[in-house]
Each structure stands twice: as C-alpha cells, then as structure tokens.
Amino acid sequence: MSNKPFVIGIAGGSGSGKTFFLKCFLNHFKDNEVCLVSQDDYYFRVAHNMTAEENKLYNFDEPCTIDNDLFMSDISKLINGETVYQKEYTFNNPNAEPRLLEIKPAPIVIVEGLFILHFKEISELLDLKIFIDTDEDIALQRRLKRDLLERGYPEGDVLYKWNNHVVPAYKAYLLPYKDECDEVITNNTHVAEDIIMITDEISERLRATVLSSDT
C-alpha cells in the first residue's frame, strides 16, 4: 500500500451495541477496502485453566488482561501494509476451536475495543474516534441476553461481573475519553434502521474522502 491507511477507532462499553454497529458499518465496504482488528482477540489466554468460581472472580475488564504489546504490534503491521495472523478469542469456551484469523491490510483499518482510547500509543494512531454510548440499564439488559443465552453463564455470575468489573472499568478506562472522540453515537434504540442510517452517513463520507483519494 502506497498511502498510510485511515485508522478508525470504535470504542464502547459492554452492551453498547458495538458489534451490531461494526457489522452494519463493514457491510458498506468490500473486503479489500477495510480490515478489522479487535481487542477481544488479544486477551491473555488464562481462562481455560480456571474453575467456574475463579472465572467469576477474575476481572477481564482491566487493561492488564490484554496483551497490549502484541495488539499494538499488529496494528502497526497493518498500517505498514503487512498481513497479521492472530488466533481468535473463544470467550472461555473450552470446547471451541479458535480460528486462525488472517487480517490483510486495507485502506481503512478499524481498531475496536474497550481500552483503545486508554492505551495512548493506540489512541494516537487513530484518525477518527467513534464512541458508542448507551444508557447503563439498556447495556445491562443486552449483556444479560448475550451471556445467558449465547455463553451460558449463570445470571448471578453475570450480575457480579457487571457490578464489580464491567461498570467500574467503563467509568475508569473509557468514559473519561468520551469528549475526545470525533463522533459520539447514542445507541439506546432497538431499531436496527437507526444504526444502519448512521453507518450509511459515515461510510459515504469515508468513501468520498479516504477511498477516492486512495485510488
């Protein structure tokens, strides 16, 4: 790649709807126009050795649980036009075989995760910072739905982590950077078209500026 890619940071707390936003956003681009690197795939892999009680008490919502050196290294590789290979994180599911992700460089690089604004070296690389904002009670309901149905966690464990890990981490490592972001998107709705409309507007702007200048 001859030109430096345009790097977008998308940050949001648990239950903010970040995953759906990303899915809608990525649908506007071809595979060779955009690539995504997710903080979730850079957790230190410690959970497979834990008992259920140890897993409940272990705080995954602290920056020290992320291999930030590798995360930063892979982002830098993508910016420099190199392909990255990284095992996906399987969210403490010992029966899931992690895929080896091949992330190819592209004119638009998306970096997403809870701590991307807190990690200064990463934050300084971002050309556009997007903050997905959601009311706490709505975020909790989304978290409960995901963890109970999709990941099979007991409700008591989910609520313990929410109150003791998730909310304190959000307030310490993400919320302080909200005012630094270029776009703050409120996502309290359950209407998909609301988020689709927002991603339409942002992607059209990027296509008119970043991608047109890249060709």
Residue 146 clears pLDDT 70, i.e. is over it: yes
What per-residue confidence (pLDDT) applies to 112? Answer: 96
Q: How far is CA 27 from CA 15, 30, 53, 57, 63, in A?
A: 21, 8, 39, 37, 30
- φ/ψ of 89, rounded to 5, equals -90, 135
What per-residue confidence (pLDDT) applies to 91? Answer: 67
**Spatial CB neighbours of 182, under 8 Å, sequence gap ≥ 6:** 128, 129, 130
Residue 174 clears pLDDT 60, i.e. is over it: yes
Residue 49 clears pLDDT 90, i.e. is over it: no
The model's confidence at residue 214, banded by pLDDT at 50, 70 and 90, is low
Q: What is the residue whose two structure tokens read 């807190």?
A: 118
Tokens of 13: 């707390």
Q: Please name each of the domains of the chain with its CATH number.
A: 6-214 (3.40.50.300)
Q: What is the residue whose two structure tokens read 């409700």?
A: 155
Mean pLDDT of 34-62: 84
Residue 94 clears pLDDT 60, i.e. is over it: no
In terms of pTM, does the model score above 0.85? Answer: yes
What is the number of helices (H) and of strands (E) in the chain? 9, 7
Residue 130 clears pLDDT 60, i.e. is over it: yes
Q: Are 149 and 47 in contact (CB under 8 A)?
A: no
Q: Are 210 and 107 in contact (CB under 8 A)?
A: yes
Residue 29 clears pLDDT 60, i.e. is over it: yes
What per-residue confidence (pLDDT) applies to 185? Answer: 94
